[in-house]
Chain A
Amino acid sequence: MIKSISYWLCCGFMIGAVVAAETSDYQTKVVVKGLDNPWSIAFISNNDWLVTERSGALRRIINGQLDVNPVAGVPDVLYAGQGGLSEIFLHPKFDVNRFVYLSFSAADTTDRKGNALVIVRGRLQGNKLSDVTTIFKSDPLRKTAAHYGARIQFLADGTMLITSGDGFNYREQAQSLDNHFGKLLRLNDDGSIPSDNPFLSTPGALPEIWSYGHRNPQGLIIAKDGTVFEHEHGPKGGDELNIIQPGKNYGWPAITYGVDYSGATISPFTEKPGMEQPIKYWVPSIAPSDMVLYQGAMFPQWVGSLFVSALVPGDVRRLAMSENKVISEDIMFSEFGRIRSIAEAPDGSLILAVDGNEGSLIRVSADSP
Protein backbone atom coordinates (compact mmCIF):
# COMPACT_ATOMS: atom_id res chain seq x y z
CA MET A 1 0.00 0.00 0.00
CA ILE A 2 2.71 2.42 1.10
CA LYS A 3 4.74 1.35 -1.94
CA SER A 4 1.83 2.15 -4.17
CA ILE A 5 1.27 5.58 -2.62
CA SER A 6 4.99 6.34 -2.92
CA TYR A 7 4.92 5.31 -6.56
CA TRP A 8 2.02 7.62 -7.37
CA LEU A 9 3.55 10.48 -5.38
CA CYS A 10 6.78 10.07 -7.37
CA CYS A 11 4.81 10.10 -10.61
CA GLY A 12 2.98 13.23 -9.48
CA PHE A 13 6.24 15.00 -8.64
CA MET A 14 7.75 14.01 -11.98
CA ILE A 15 4.74 15.27 -13.92
CA GLY A 16 4.77 18.46 -11.88
CA ALA A 17 8.45 18.96 -12.60
CA VAL A 18 7.90 18.49 -16.33
CA VAL A 19 4.98 20.93 -16.34
CA ALA A 20 7.00 23.43 -14.34
CA ALA A 21 9.90 23.12 -16.78
CA GLU A 22 7.55 23.67 -19.72
CA THR A 23 5.75 26.65 -18.23
CA SER A 24 8.76 28.32 -16.68
CA ASP A 25 10.11 29.09 -20.16
CA TYR A 26 7.89 32.13 -20.37
CA GLN A 27 5.64 34.41 -18.43
CA THR A 28 2.43 36.08 -19.50
CA LYS A 29 1.20 39.52 -18.53
CA VAL A 30 -1.89 41.48 -19.46
CA VAL A 31 -0.62 44.65 -21.11
CA VAL A 32 -3.87 46.34 -22.08
CA LYS A 33 -7.49 45.68 -21.13
CA GLY A 34 -10.78 47.06 -22.34
CA LEU A 35 -10.28 46.79 -26.09
CA ASP A 36 -13.38 46.35 -28.22
CA ASN A 37 -12.77 43.23 -30.29
CA PRO A 38 -9.06 43.74 -31.03
CA TRP A 39 -8.23 42.28 -34.45
CA SER A 40 -4.69 43.15 -35.49
CA ILE A 41 -1.50 44.55 -34.01
CA ALA A 42 1.39 46.47 -35.59
CA PHE A 43 4.58 47.69 -33.99
CA ILE A 44 6.07 51.06 -34.80
CA SER A 45 8.70 50.32 -32.18
CA ASN A 46 9.07 48.21 -29.08
CA ASN A 47 7.13 50.78 -27.08
CA ASP A 48 4.73 52.15 -29.68
CA TRP A 49 2.01 49.80 -30.89
CA LEU A 50 -1.09 50.14 -33.01
CA VAL A 51 -4.10 47.89 -32.59
CA THR A 52 -7.36 47.79 -34.51
CA GLU A 53 -10.72 47.39 -32.83
CA ARG A 54 -13.28 45.74 -35.08
CA SER A 55 -15.86 48.33 -34.10
CA GLY A 56 -13.85 50.85 -36.08
CA ALA A 57 -11.18 52.45 -33.92
CA LEU A 58 -7.43 52.39 -34.42
CA ARG A 59 -5.82 52.60 -30.99
CA ARG A 60 -2.29 53.45 -29.99
CA ILE A 61 -0.41 51.93 -27.09
CA ILE A 62 2.65 53.83 -25.93
CA ASN A 63 4.86 52.37 -23.21
CA GLY A 64 2.12 49.91 -22.34
CA GLN A 65 -0.53 52.63 -21.89
CA LEU A 66 -3.59 52.75 -24.12
CA ASP A 67 -4.07 56.22 -25.56
CA VAL A 68 -7.62 57.22 -24.70
CA ASN A 69 -7.96 59.02 -28.03
CA PRO A 70 -8.24 56.74 -31.06
CA VAL A 71 -6.18 57.62 -34.10
CA ALA A 72 -8.15 60.18 -36.11
CA GLY A 73 -8.88 59.90 -39.81
CA VAL A 74 -9.87 56.23 -39.95
CA PRO A 75 -12.68 55.75 -42.49
CA ASP A 76 -16.15 54.62 -41.43
CA VAL A 77 -16.46 50.85 -41.36
CA LEU A 78 -19.36 48.43 -41.53
CA TYR A 79 -19.34 46.88 -38.07
CA ALA A 80 -21.67 43.89 -38.44
CA GLY A 81 -21.37 40.14 -38.24
CA GLN A 82 -17.70 39.33 -38.78
CA GLY A 83 -17.07 42.66 -40.45
CA GLY A 84 -15.45 45.84 -39.22
CA LEU A 85 -11.99 47.32 -38.98
CA SER A 86 -9.60 44.42 -39.46
CA GLU A 87 -5.93 44.49 -40.43
CA ILE A 88 -3.34 47.15 -39.74
CA PHE A 89 -0.06 46.74 -41.58
CA LEU A 90 2.92 49.09 -41.79
CA HIS A 91 4.65 49.73 -45.11
CA PRO A 92 8.10 48.07 -45.16
CA LYS A 93 9.55 51.60 -45.43
CA PHE A 94 7.25 53.06 -42.80
CA ASP A 95 10.12 54.89 -41.10
CA VAL A 96 10.53 56.93 -44.28
CA ASN A 97 7.03 57.27 -45.75
CA ARG A 98 4.78 56.75 -42.66
CA PHE A 99 2.35 54.68 -44.75
CA VAL A 100 -0.04 52.35 -42.94
CA TYR A 101 -2.58 50.03 -44.55
CA LEU A 102 -5.97 49.21 -43.09
CA SER A 103 -8.47 46.60 -44.23
CA PHE A 104 -12.13 46.76 -43.30
CA SER A 105 -15.64 46.02 -44.46
CA ALA A 106 -17.55 49.00 -45.80
CA ALA A 107 -21.11 49.53 -46.93
CA ASP A 108 -21.43 50.48 -50.56
CA THR A 109 -22.37 54.08 -51.17
CA THR A 110 -24.86 53.32 -53.95
CA ASP A 111 -26.15 49.81 -53.17
CA ARG A 112 -27.12 50.08 -49.51
CA LYS A 113 -27.58 46.31 -49.16
CA GLY A 114 -24.11 45.60 -50.51
CA ASN A 115 -20.75 45.78 -48.83
CA ALA A 116 -17.16 45.05 -49.72
CA LEU A 117 -13.68 44.41 -48.38
CA VAL A 118 -11.76 47.67 -48.68
CA ILE A 119 -8.05 48.43 -48.28
CA VAL A 120 -6.92 51.99 -47.65
CA ARG A 121 -3.49 53.53 -47.34
CA GLY A 122 -2.82 56.57 -45.20
CA ARG A 123 0.04 58.45 -43.61
CA LEU A 124 0.33 58.29 -39.85
CA GLN A 125 1.24 61.76 -38.62
CA GLY A 126 1.17 61.98 -34.86
CA ASN A 127 -2.17 60.54 -33.81
CA LYS A 128 -3.86 61.14 -37.15
CA LEU A 129 -4.15 59.38 -40.49
CA SER A 130 -3.89 61.73 -43.44
CA ASP A 131 -3.88 61.31 -47.22
CA VAL A 132 -6.16 58.30 -46.84
CA THR A 133 -6.83 56.71 -50.21
CA THR A 134 -8.68 53.56 -51.16
CA ILE A 135 -6.32 51.25 -53.02
CA PHE A 136 -8.60 48.21 -53.26
CA LYS A 137 -12.29 47.40 -53.10
CA SER A 138 -13.50 43.85 -53.60
CA ASP A 139 -15.78 43.09 -56.50
CA PRO A 140 -18.60 42.15 -56.72
CA LEU A 141 -20.38 43.43 -53.63
CA ARG A 142 -21.67 40.97 -51.07
CA LYS A 143 -24.88 41.01 -49.02
CA THR A 144 -23.41 38.99 -46.17
CA ALA A 145 -21.21 40.25 -43.36
CA ALA A 146 -18.86 37.29 -43.09
CA HIS A 147 -15.71 35.73 -44.51
CA TYR A 148 -13.74 38.80 -45.51
CA GLY A 149 -10.24 37.36 -45.07
CA ALA A 150 -8.66 40.83 -44.80
CA ARG A 151 -5.05 40.01 -43.92
CA ILE A 152 -2.19 41.94 -45.56
CA GLN A 153 1.50 41.09 -45.97
CA PHE A 154 4.30 42.50 -48.07
CA LEU A 155 6.49 40.31 -50.24
CA ALA A 156 10.21 40.97 -50.46
CA ASP A 157 9.75 42.62 -53.88
CA GLY A 158 7.65 45.38 -52.32
CA THR A 159 4.30 44.11 -53.59
CA MET A 160 1.55 43.26 -51.15
CA LEU A 161 -0.67 40.21 -50.70
CA ILE A 162 -4.26 40.55 -49.52
CA THR A 163 -6.52 37.72 -48.44
CA SER A 164 -10.14 37.95 -49.59
CA GLY A 165 -12.71 35.53 -48.19
CA ASP A 166 -15.56 33.82 -49.99
CA GLY A 167 -18.35 35.86 -48.38
CA PHE A 168 -19.94 32.66 -46.98
CA ASN A 169 -22.88 32.55 -49.38
CA TYR A 170 -20.68 32.77 -52.48
CA ARG A 171 -18.35 29.82 -51.98
CA GLU A 172 -18.58 28.48 -55.54
CA GLN A 173 -17.21 31.83 -56.76
CA ALA A 174 -13.87 30.88 -55.21
CA GLN A 175 -13.33 28.64 -58.25
CA SER A 176 -13.97 31.42 -60.78
CA LEU A 177 -11.34 33.96 -61.70
CA ASP A 178 -13.77 36.77 -62.53
CA ASN A 179 -14.33 37.89 -58.94
CA HIS A 180 -12.52 38.44 -55.64
CA PHE A 181 -14.33 35.83 -53.53
CA GLY A 182 -11.94 33.28 -52.02
CA LYS A 183 -8.73 34.68 -53.48
CA LEU A 184 -5.27 35.87 -52.56
CA LEU A 185 -4.55 39.09 -54.39
CA ARG A 186 -1.28 40.82 -55.20
CA LEU A 187 -0.99 44.55 -55.64
CA ASN A 188 1.72 47.15 -55.75
CA ASP A 189 1.93 49.31 -52.66
CA ASP A 190 -0.21 51.99 -54.33
CA GLY A 191 -2.92 49.54 -55.41
CA SER A 192 -1.81 49.18 -59.02
CA ILE A 193 -1.39 45.75 -60.59
CA PRO A 194 2.09 44.20 -60.74
CA SER A 195 3.16 43.32 -64.26
CA ASP A 196 4.02 39.71 -63.41
CA ASN A 197 0.82 38.54 -61.74
CA PRO A 198 -0.10 34.98 -62.81
CA PHE A 199 -3.47 35.59 -64.48
CA LEU A 200 -2.70 38.79 -66.39
CA SER A 201 -3.06 37.03 -69.72
CA THR A 202 -5.98 34.77 -68.76
CA PRO A 203 -9.16 35.91 -70.53
CA GLY A 204 -11.84 36.97 -68.07
CA ALA A 205 -9.59 36.74 -65.02
CA LEU A 206 -9.14 39.67 -62.67
CA PRO A 207 -5.51 40.75 -62.95
CA GLU A 208 -4.84 41.11 -59.22
CA ILE A 209 -5.56 37.43 -58.46
CA TRP A 210 -2.51 35.53 -57.19
CA SER A 211 -4.14 32.27 -56.07
CA TYR A 212 -7.69 30.99 -55.74
CA GLY A 213 -9.92 28.34 -54.20
CA HIS A 214 -9.73 29.76 -50.67
CA ARG A 215 -12.48 30.00 -48.06
CA ASN A 216 -11.78 32.53 -45.32
CA PRO A 217 -8.02 33.08 -45.12
CA GLN A 218 -7.16 34.92 -41.93
CA GLY A 219 -3.55 33.91 -41.47
CA LEU A 220 -0.80 35.05 -43.80
CA ILE A 221 2.92 35.14 -43.20
CA ILE A 222 5.95 35.28 -45.45
CA ALA A 223 9.17 33.56 -44.46
CA LYS A 224 12.58 35.06 -45.13
CA ASP A 225 13.10 32.58 -47.97
CA GLY A 226 9.89 33.83 -49.62
CA THR A 227 7.65 30.92 -48.62
CA VAL A 228 4.08 32.17 -48.20
CA PHE A 229 2.19 30.42 -45.42
CA GLU A 230 -1.56 30.92 -45.31
CA HIS A 231 -4.25 29.43 -43.15
CA GLU A 232 -7.97 29.55 -43.65
CA HIS A 233 -11.08 28.69 -41.74
CA GLY A 234 -12.74 25.52 -42.94
CA PRO A 235 -16.45 24.92 -42.51
CA LYS A 236 -17.31 22.34 -39.82
CA GLY A 237 -13.84 20.82 -39.81
CA GLY A 238 -11.25 21.31 -42.51
CA ASP A 239 -9.28 24.36 -41.39
CA GLU A 240 -6.17 24.41 -43.56
CA LEU A 241 -2.55 25.50 -43.44
CA ASN A 242 -1.26 26.00 -46.98
CA ILE A 243 1.91 27.05 -48.73
CA ILE A 244 0.78 29.45 -51.42
CA GLN A 245 2.26 29.55 -54.87
CA PRO A 246 1.14 32.00 -57.54
CA GLY A 247 -1.46 30.76 -59.99
CA LYS A 248 -2.39 27.69 -57.95
CA ASN A 249 -5.89 26.48 -57.07
CA TYR A 250 -6.39 25.51 -53.42
CA GLY A 251 -9.61 23.67 -54.11
CA TRP A 252 -12.37 25.23 -52.02
CA PRO A 253 -15.20 24.23 -52.25
CA ALA A 254 -14.58 21.46 -54.82
CA ILE A 255 -12.35 19.64 -52.34
CA THR A 256 -12.48 20.02 -48.59
CA TYR A 257 -11.90 18.11 -45.37
CA GLY A 258 -14.95 19.70 -43.74
CA VAL A 259 -18.73 19.55 -44.00
CA ASP A 260 -21.27 22.35 -43.99
CA TYR A 261 -22.52 23.83 -40.71
CA SER A 262 -25.89 22.27 -41.54
CA GLY A 263 -24.24 18.85 -41.57
CA ALA A 264 -24.59 18.61 -45.35
CA THR A 265 -21.80 17.50 -47.65
CA ILE A 266 -20.02 20.36 -49.39
CA SER A 267 -17.96 18.02 -51.50
CA PRO A 268 -17.37 14.29 -51.15
CA PHE A 269 -13.83 14.86 -52.43
CA THR A 270 -10.68 15.80 -50.54
CA GLU A 271 -8.27 15.86 -53.45
CA LYS A 272 -8.12 16.33 -57.19
CA PRO A 273 -5.24 16.70 -59.64
CA GLY A 274 -4.60 20.38 -60.25
CA MET A 275 -5.79 21.36 -56.79
CA GLU A 276 -3.29 21.90 -53.98
CA GLN A 277 -3.30 20.00 -50.70
CA PRO A 278 -2.79 21.72 -47.35
CA ILE A 279 0.37 20.92 -45.41
CA LYS A 280 -1.88 20.50 -42.40
CA TYR A 281 -5.59 20.48 -41.71
CA TRP A 282 -7.65 20.42 -38.56
CA VAL A 283 -10.74 18.28 -37.97
CA PRO A 284 -12.50 19.35 -35.81
CA SER A 285 -11.97 23.01 -36.51
CA ILE A 286 -9.83 25.26 -34.35
CA ALA A 287 -10.94 28.45 -36.18
CA PRO A 288 -7.44 29.74 -36.98
CA SER A 289 -7.43 33.52 -36.73
CA ASP A 290 -3.86 34.71 -37.28
CA MET A 291 -0.31 33.45 -37.54
CA VAL A 292 3.26 34.44 -36.89
CA LEU A 293 6.53 32.79 -37.91
CA TYR A 294 8.74 33.26 -34.90
CA GLN A 295 12.16 34.78 -35.62
CA GLY A 296 12.94 36.55 -32.35
CA ALA A 297 15.88 36.27 -29.99
CA MET A 298 13.83 36.01 -26.81
CA PHE A 299 12.85 32.37 -27.37
CA PRO A 300 15.62 30.65 -29.35
CA GLN A 301 13.84 27.31 -28.95
CA TRP A 302 10.86 28.65 -30.90
CA VAL A 303 12.72 30.13 -33.89
CA GLY A 304 11.22 28.80 -37.10
CA SER A 305 7.98 27.71 -35.46
CA LEU A 306 4.63 28.87 -36.75
CA PHE A 307 2.31 30.14 -34.04
CA VAL A 308 -1.33 29.90 -35.08
CA SER A 309 -3.87 31.68 -32.91
CA ALA A 310 -7.24 29.98 -32.67
CA LEU A 311 -10.73 31.01 -31.66
CA VAL A 312 -12.12 27.56 -30.86
CA PRO A 313 -11.74 26.54 -28.13
CA GLY A 314 -9.27 29.40 -27.79
CA ASP A 315 -5.54 28.79 -27.72
CA VAL A 316 -2.36 29.03 -29.78
CA ARG A 317 -0.88 26.15 -31.75
CA ARG A 318 2.90 26.08 -32.00
CA LEU A 319 3.78 24.20 -35.13
CA ALA A 320 7.39 23.08 -35.26
CA MET A 321 8.45 23.11 -38.91
CA SER A 322 11.10 21.29 -40.88
CA GLU A 323 11.51 21.79 -44.62
CA ASN A 324 8.06 23.38 -44.78
CA LYS A 325 6.43 20.40 -43.12
CA VAL A 326 4.72 20.42 -39.75
CA ILE A 327 6.57 17.99 -37.50
CA SER A 328 4.75 18.65 -34.22
CA GLU A 329 1.93 20.67 -32.72
CA ASP A 330 1.82 22.04 -29.17
CA ILE A 331 -1.24 23.67 -27.66
CA MET A 332 -0.34 26.79 -25.68
CA PHE A 333 -1.97 29.75 -23.95
CA SER A 334 -5.33 28.02 -23.62
CA GLU A 335 -6.17 29.92 -20.43
CA PHE A 336 -7.17 33.20 -22.09
CA GLY A 337 -10.13 32.27 -24.30
CA ARG A 338 -10.52 33.13 -27.97
CA ILE A 339 -7.25 34.45 -29.40
CA ARG A 340 -7.98 36.76 -32.34
CA SER A 341 -4.47 37.76 -33.27
CA ILE A 342 -0.84 36.98 -32.54
CA ALA A 343 2.18 39.11 -33.34
CA GLU A 344 5.89 39.16 -32.62
CA ALA A 345 7.09 42.37 -31.02
CA PRO A 346 10.47 43.82 -32.00
CA ASP A 347 11.99 42.54 -28.73
CA GLY A 348 10.93 38.97 -29.58
CA SER A 349 8.05 38.76 -27.14
CA LEU A 350 4.73 37.43 -28.43
CA ILE A 351 1.62 39.56 -28.16
CA LEU A 352 -1.76 37.84 -28.09
CA ALA A 353 -5.00 39.71 -28.76
CA VAL A 354 -7.85 38.18 -26.80
CA ASP A 355 -11.18 38.46 -28.60
CA GLY A 356 -14.33 40.02 -27.19
CA ASN A 357 -15.84 43.38 -26.40
CA GLU A 358 -13.65 43.45 -23.29
CA GLY A 359 -10.65 42.22 -25.20
CA SER A 360 -7.08 42.48 -24.05
CA LEU A 361 -3.48 42.19 -25.15
CA ILE A 362 -1.28 39.62 -23.44
CA ARG A 363 2.52 39.78 -23.59
CA VAL A 364 4.42 36.51 -23.56
CA SER A 365 8.03 37.07 -22.57
CA ALA A 366 10.97 35.11 -21.21
CA ASP A 367 11.34 34.76 -17.47
CA SER A 368 13.29 37.54 -15.83
CA PRO A 369 16.81 36.34 -14.95
Chain B
Amino acid sequence: MLSISSRFLVSVIIAMGVMAVQTSMSNLFWLLSVDMPISLVVFISTLLSDLIGMSFNGEVPIIGVVLVGLLIAFVVAHFVIKYTGLARVPGYMFAGAAALFAIVVLMPLAFYNLDLIAGARTFIGKCCLITGGALSGYFFAVTGDEGRAHD
Protein backbone atom coordinates (compact mmCIF):
# COMPACT_ATOMS: atom_id res chain seq x y z
CA MET B 1 0.00 0.00 0.00
CA LEU B 2 1.15 3.56 -0.69
CA SER B 3 1.80 5.92 2.18
CA ILE B 4 -0.90 8.47 2.83
CA SER B 5 1.28 11.33 1.58
CA SER B 6 2.08 9.46 -1.65
CA ARG B 7 -1.60 8.73 -2.21
CA PHE B 8 -2.43 12.33 -1.60
CA LEU B 9 0.23 13.63 -4.00
CA VAL B 10 -0.93 11.24 -6.72
CA SER B 11 -4.49 12.44 -6.11
CA VAL B 12 -3.34 16.04 -6.62
CA ILE B 13 -1.53 15.01 -9.81
CA ILE B 14 -4.69 13.31 -11.08
CA ALA B 15 -6.76 16.46 -10.52
CA MET B 16 -4.04 18.62 -12.08
CA GLY B 17 -3.72 16.23 -15.00
CA VAL B 18 -7.43 16.38 -15.76
CA MET B 19 -7.31 20.18 -15.47
CA ALA B 20 -4.33 20.52 -17.80
CA VAL B 21 -5.69 18.08 -20.37
CA GLN B 22 -9.12 19.67 -20.35
CA THR B 23 -7.70 23.19 -20.66
CA SER B 24 -5.30 22.16 -23.45
CA MET B 25 -7.99 20.37 -25.38
CA SER B 26 -10.52 23.17 -25.13
CA ASN B 27 -7.89 25.66 -26.38
CA LEU B 28 -6.60 23.40 -29.13
CA PHE B 29 -10.05 22.47 -30.41
CA TRP B 30 -10.95 26.13 -30.65
CA LEU B 31 -7.69 26.85 -32.49
CA LEU B 32 -8.51 24.04 -34.91
CA SER B 33 -11.92 25.59 -35.48
CA VAL B 34 -10.27 28.79 -36.71
CA ASP B 35 -7.94 26.87 -39.03
CA MET B 36 -4.79 27.03 -36.96
CA PRO B 37 -2.41 24.21 -37.90
CA ILE B 38 -2.64 21.85 -34.92
CA SER B 39 -0.46 18.84 -35.71
CA LEU B 40 0.02 15.82 -33.46
CA VAL B 41 3.38 17.22 -32.37
CA VAL B 42 1.80 20.56 -31.46
CA PHE B 43 -0.99 18.72 -29.65
CA ILE B 44 1.33 16.63 -27.51
CA SER B 45 3.82 19.40 -26.80
CA THR B 46 0.99 21.71 -25.72
CA LEU B 47 -0.41 19.06 -23.38
CA LEU B 48 2.98 18.57 -21.74
CA SER B 49 3.65 22.29 -21.63
CA ASP B 50 0.31 22.92 -19.92
CA LEU B 51 0.86 20.20 -17.36
CA ILE B 52 4.11 21.86 -16.30
CA GLY B 53 2.97 25.44 -16.92
CA MET B 54 -0.27 25.16 -14.96
CA SER B 55 1.49 23.39 -12.12
CA PHE B 56 4.41 25.73 -11.67
CA ASN B 57 4.41 28.76 -14.00
CA GLY B 58 1.11 30.49 -13.33
CA GLU B 59 0.69 33.82 -11.59
CA VAL B 60 -0.60 31.67 -8.73
CA PRO B 61 0.66 28.08 -9.13
CA ILE B 62 -2.59 26.17 -9.63
CA ILE B 63 -1.08 23.05 -8.13
CA GLY B 64 -0.88 24.86 -4.80
CA VAL B 65 -4.53 25.83 -4.97
CA VAL B 66 -5.54 22.26 -5.86
CA LEU B 67 -3.29 20.84 -3.16
CA VAL B 68 -4.76 23.06 -0.45
CA GLY B 69 -8.31 22.46 -1.71
CA LEU B 70 -7.96 18.69 -1.72
CA LEU B 71 -6.15 18.68 1.62
CA ILE B 72 -9.00 20.51 3.32
CA ALA B 73 -11.61 18.39 1.57
CA PHE B 74 -9.94 15.06 2.40
CA VAL B 75 -9.36 15.98 6.05
CA VAL B 76 -13.02 16.92 6.40
CA ALA B 77 -14.01 13.73 4.55
CA HIS B 78 -11.84 11.67 6.89
CA PHE B 79 -13.73 12.87 9.95
CA VAL B 80 -17.13 12.69 8.28
CA ILE B 81 -16.43 9.08 7.25
CA LYS B 82 -15.06 8.23 10.66
CA TYR B 83 -17.97 9.59 12.66
CA THR B 84 -20.91 9.04 10.33
CA GLY B 85 -20.07 5.66 8.86
CA LEU B 86 -20.30 7.05 5.32
CA ALA B 87 -18.66 4.72 2.77
CA ARG B 88 -15.07 5.74 1.94
CA VAL B 89 -15.24 5.76 -1.83
CA PRO B 90 -18.26 8.01 -2.29
CA GLY B 91 -17.11 10.09 0.68
CA TYR B 92 -13.70 10.94 -0.80
CA MET B 93 -15.12 11.22 -4.31
CA PHE B 94 -17.60 13.80 -3.07
CA ALA B 95 -14.82 15.60 -1.16
CA GLY B 96 -12.62 15.78 -4.26
CA ALA B 97 -15.49 17.01 -6.37
CA ALA B 98 -16.38 19.61 -3.73
CA ALA B 99 -12.79 20.89 -3.67
CA LEU B 100 -12.74 21.38 -7.43
CA PHE B 101 -16.24 22.88 -7.31
CA ALA B 102 -14.90 25.47 -4.88
CA ILE B 103 -11.93 26.20 -7.15
CA VAL B 104 -13.74 26.45 -10.49
CA VAL B 105 -17.18 27.68 -9.44
CA LEU B 106 -16.91 29.54 -6.13
CA MET B 107 -13.44 31.08 -6.43
CA PRO B 108 -14.26 33.06 -9.61
CA LEU B 109 -17.12 34.74 -7.75
CA ALA B 110 -14.49 36.48 -5.65
CA PHE B 111 -12.82 37.77 -8.82
CA TYR B 112 -15.83 39.33 -10.53
CA ASN B 113 -16.63 36.10 -12.38
CA LEU B 114 -13.19 35.86 -13.95
CA ASP B 115 -12.38 32.26 -14.75
CA LEU B 116 -8.64 32.13 -14.24
CA ILE B 117 -8.61 28.52 -15.48
CA ALA B 118 -9.59 28.89 -19.11
CA GLY B 119 -10.94 25.36 -19.34
CA ALA B 120 -13.50 26.20 -16.68
CA ARG B 121 -15.25 28.92 -18.68
CA THR B 122 -17.97 26.61 -19.94
CA PHE B 123 -20.49 24.46 -18.07
CA ILE B 124 -19.04 21.32 -19.62
CA GLY B 125 -15.53 22.43 -18.71
CA LYS B 126 -16.53 22.99 -15.11
CA CYS B 127 -18.16 19.53 -15.02
CA CYS B 128 -14.96 17.93 -16.39
CA LEU B 129 -12.79 19.56 -13.77
CA ILE B 130 -15.18 18.64 -10.95
CA THR B 131 -15.14 15.06 -12.27
CA GLY B 132 -11.34 15.24 -12.09
CA GLY B 133 -11.70 16.10 -8.41
CA ALA B 134 -13.99 13.12 -7.91
CA LEU B 135 -11.46 10.87 -9.68
CA SER B 136 -8.69 12.06 -7.40
CA GLY B 137 -10.92 11.30 -4.41
CA TYR B 138 -11.67 7.86 -5.83
CA PHE B 139 -7.96 7.12 -6.17
CA PHE B 140 -7.29 8.31 -2.63
CA ALA B 141 -10.08 6.14 -1.24
CA VAL B 142 -9.34 2.90 -3.06
CA THR B 143 -5.56 2.95 -2.51
CA GLY B 144 -5.77 3.34 1.27
CA ASP B 145 -6.39 0.71 3.88
CA GLU B 146 -7.30 2.80 6.89
CA GLY B 147 -10.96 2.79 7.78
CA ARG B 148 -11.63 0.04 5.24
CA ALA B 149 -14.14 -1.43 7.69
CA HIS B 150 -16.49 1.36 6.70
CA ASP B 151 -16.78 0.05 3.10
**A266 and B118 contact, Cβ closer than 8 Å, known pairs A80-B112, A146-B112, A169-B113:** yes
The distance from the CB of A304 to the nearest CB of chain B, in whole angstroms, is 36
**A264 and B118 contact, Cβ closer than 8 Å, known pairs A254-B36, A259-B53, A269-B36:** yes
**A265 and B27 contact, Cβ closer than 8 Å, known pairs A236-B59, A254-B34, A259-B53:** yes
The distance from the CB of A19 to the nearest CB of chain B, in whole angstroms, is 34
Residue of chain A at shortest CB distance from B122: A169
Contacts of A269 in B (CB 8 A): 31, 36-37
The distance from the CB of B147 to the nearest CB of chain A, in whole angstroms, is 35
Rounded to whole angstroms, the CA-CA distance of A175 and B34 in the bound complex is: 9
Interface size of B as a range: 35 or more
Rounded to whole angstroms, the CA-CA distance of A265 and B117 in the bound complex is: 11
**A264 and B24 contact, Cβ closer than 8 Å, known pairs A254-B34, A259-B53, A259-B57:** yes
**Interface: B56 (CB within 8 A):** yes
Contact B36 A263 (CB under 8 A): no
The distance from the CB of B65 to the nearest CB of chain A, in whole angstroms, is 10
**Interface: B131 (CB within 8 A):** no
**Interface: A158 (CB within 8 A):** no
The distance from the CB of A11 to the nearest CB of chain B, in whole angstroms, is 39
**Interface: A357 (CB within 8 A):** no
CB contact between B113 and one of A144, A263, A267 (< 8 Å): that residue: A144
Q: Is the interface of B mostly helix, strand, loop or mixed?
A: helix
**Interface: B121 (CB within 8 A):** yes
Contacts of A259 in B (CB 8 A): 53, 57
Rounded to whole angstroms, the CA-CA distance of A116 and B23 in the bound complex is: 27
The distance from the CB of B78 to the nearest CB of chain A, in whole angstroms, is 29
Contact B116 A262 (CB under 8 A): yes
**Interface: A282 (CB within 8 A):** no
The distance from the CB of B34 to the nearest CB of chain A, in whole angstroms, is 6
**A264 and B36 contact, Cβ closer than 8 Å, known pairs A144-B112, A168-B114:** no
Binary flags per residue of B31-65, CB closer than 8 Å to A gives 1, else 0: 10010110000100110011011111111111000
Rounded to whole angstroms, the CA-CA distance of A129 and B59 in the bound complex is: 42
Listed in ascending order, the chain B residues whose CB lies under 8 Å from chain A are 20, 23-24, 27, 30-31, 34, 36-37, 42, 45-46, 49-50, 52-62, 111-119, 121
- 10 more contacts with CB within 8 A, not counting A261-B58, A264-B117, A268-B45, are A81-B114, A169-B113, A261-B59, A262-B58, A262-B59, A262-B118, A263-B57, A263-B59, A266-B27, A269-B37
Q: 9 closest pairs, A vs B, by CB?
A: A263-B58, A263-B53, A81-B112, A263-B57, A145-B112, A261-B59, A262-B58, A263-B54, A264-B50
